[in-house]
Amino acid sequence: MLSVITRFALLIFLAFLAGYIALAQLGPISAIGAGICVLSIPLIYSYINLARLRKFTVADSVESMPLPSGYWEEIFFRLQRLVRNLKQQMRSIEKQHSRFIEAFQASPNGIVMLDDQDHIEWCNAIAEQFFGLNFKRDVMQRINFLIRRPEFVQYLYRRQFDESLLLERMGPAANLSLMLQAFPFGDMRHLLLIQDVTDLQKADAMRRDFVANVSHEMRTPITVLMGFLETMQSLDLDKAQQNQYFEMMMSQAQRMKSLVEDLLTLANLEANTLPAPMQAISIPTLMALLKNDAEVLSQGHHAFNFEVSSPSNLMGEEREILSAFGNLVSNAIRYSPDIASISTNWRVNERGEGEFSVTDTGPGIASEHLSRLTERFYRVDRSRSRDTGGTGLGLAIVKHIANRHQAQLIIESTPGKGSTFTLRFPKERVVA
Ligand code: ADP
């Protein structure tokens, strides 16, 4: 490649040469014209290439521009390489950017980016859902104009972002509890992270309720027991009276024992999340055991009918199944008046599922209670439950045992007529 000075010198030489030849042949005017003609050749060439460059830059297709020959080839080539590199860099930055956006969108937490004036720069779909925002509509709006909860406005105002803020009754159905915290980043900007803590809050409330309920259940027999002890201490009782007091104290102690036993059973069931093992349990044998226990509990006050329509084996944990079936039978006895009849049946239905049902002709249960019966300590008839030694945990235990055996607990009841409690086991757990 020739250098610029050499090219220029060559051009001047050619212009003089052309001028000299023209001067000898045609005269001085023609000599000047010939010199100018030679000098304007590279000018025209450059002009043509500049025009092509303009055309391709306007069409944003510099990369596909055909390369000219000569001095402009190198310029076009370098320009094309530069544009290609820049475009590739832009593409990879865009890809990275959209990967970040996708990651933020995939987050189960709400994310909002705020500028130094608390304007929304960006937010993900979860945050839109939590706060009823619409990113396209609300971009660059001040967040405290859109989320107007006083505690949130104050949180932004105080700027103590090392603390988090709990917002209750949020979301489209006003049923969410959200934990929110702002994290400073970059140039006075803030990232708001919002976590849905509804389930955690519910679990916490349930735990508090549970502790309150247990304390309440324990306090009554303890108070009664202490009352008896004080009486026995302060009064001079004869042997018969003493025995009567001991009996009453025994019944309170028994009540506490049942409560603790049921609590332990529940705790064990809750701790064990695995499905129940597949031990073969003979239903006819189990029914005979249940019948025996029922007759002892009823003391001849009820008419029983224990039936096994489809003799079979149930695959499960025998101790748990006996406890669940026994609970349903004992409830039927305890909540039904003396004249009631109680039928217990095991059958395999058309779909091959095993159904254990207990039907009584007792007082029945109003429909508004049915969905809550398996909650811990939920009682329809509180005094009858206590009088008959109930802890309020029986059906909660039955429900847990059913879950461990993939069974369903179905409760049907008509007030004044009676109730049927059915445990339906999947066909995989029934062996003919
Ligand atoms: P409890 O120890 O109080 O019997 P459960 O969890 O076994 O607790 O039962 C919850 C409530 O359901 C009982 O307090 C009672 O009001 C109601 N219940 C259960 N079984 C029957 C039934 N067969 N007939 C009428 N009410 C029942």
Is the CB of 266 within 6 Å of ligand 1? no
Instruction: Name the phi and psi angles at 378, rounded to 5.
Output: -85, 125
Handedness of CA 395, 400, 402, 403 (dihedral sign): positive
β-bridge pairing 408-414 and 279-282: unpaired
Global pTM reads 0.69
Q: Residue 374 corresponds to which tokens in the numbers above?
A: 């398996």
DSSP, res 142: B
**Ligand 1 atom with minimal separation from the 332 CA:** 23
Which residue bears the tokens 């409830």?
331
Q: Is 328 found in the same domain as 298?
A: yes
Is the CB of 379 within 6 Å of ligand 1? yes
Q: Is 243 found in the same domain as 215?
A: yes
Write down the pLDDT at residue 390: 87
Residues sharing a CB contact under 8 Å with residue 237, sequence separation 6 or more, in sequence order:
231, 245
Q: Residue 67 corresponds to which tokens in the numbers above?
A: 């390369």
Q: Which of these three, 238, 271, 304, is where a domain ends? A: 271
pLDDT mean across residues, the chain: 93
Is the CB of 385 within 6 Å of ligand 1? yes
For ligand 1, pick from 269, 370, 385, 413 the residue to mutate: most ligand atoms within 8 Å of CB.
385
Q: Is 297 found in the same domain as 177?
A: no
β-bridge pairing 341-348 and 110-114: unpaired
Angle at 79 between CA 77 and CA 82, to 5 degrees: 110
Q: Is 327 found in the same domain as 252?
A: no
What's the 259 CA to ligand 1 centre distance in angstroms?
15
Write down the pLDDT at residue 2: 67
Handedness of CA 232, 236, 240, 241 (dihedral sign): negative
What's the 335 CA to ligand 1 centre distance in angstroms?
7
Q: Is 17 found in the same domain as 129?
A: no
CATH number, domain of 244, equals 1.10.287.130
Q: Residue 305 corresponds to which tokens in the numbers above?
A: 């009918």
CATH number, domain of 153, equals 3.30.450.20
Q: Is 118 found in the same domain as 184?
A: yes
Write down the pLDDT at residue 220: 87
What's the 69 CA to ligand 1 centre distance in angstroms?
98
Question: Distances in Å between the alpha carbon of 179 and those of 57, 132, 165, 231, 301?
Answer: 52, 16, 6, 53, 57
Domain that holds residue 180: 107-196
Write down the pLDDT at residue 66: 87
Which residue's CA lies nearest to atom 21 of ligand 1? 331
What's the 385 CA to ligand 1 centre distance in angstroms?
7
Q: Is 48 found in the same domain as 136?
A: no
Q: Is 130 found in the same domain as 167?
A: yes
- Residue numbers in the chain where pLDDT is lower than 70: 1-2
Is the CB of 332 within 6 Å of ligand 1? yes
**Ligand 1 atom with minimal separation from the 381 CA:** 16
Domain count of the chain?
4
Write down the pLDDT at residue 7: 83
How far the first Cα of the chain sits from its last, in Å, is 98
Write down the pLDDT at residue 91: 96
Q: Is 419 found in the same domain as 307?
A: yes
> 3-class DSSP state for residue 127?
helix
Closest by CA to 49, choosing from 62, 35, 33, is: 62
Closest by CA to 395, choosing from 265, 282, 274, 284, is: 265
Write down the pLDDT at residue 338: 84
CB-facing half-sphere around the CA of 359: CA atoms within 13 A = 10
Write down the pLDDT at residue 263: 95
Which residue's CA lies nearest to atom 20 of ligand 1? 331
Q: Is 306 found in the same domain as 392?
A: yes
In sequence order, which ranges of 235-379 are alpha helices (DSSP H)?
Answer: 239-271, 283-298, 318-335, 367-370
Structure confidence by residue, pLDDT tens digits, 247-268: 999 999 999 999 999 999 999 9
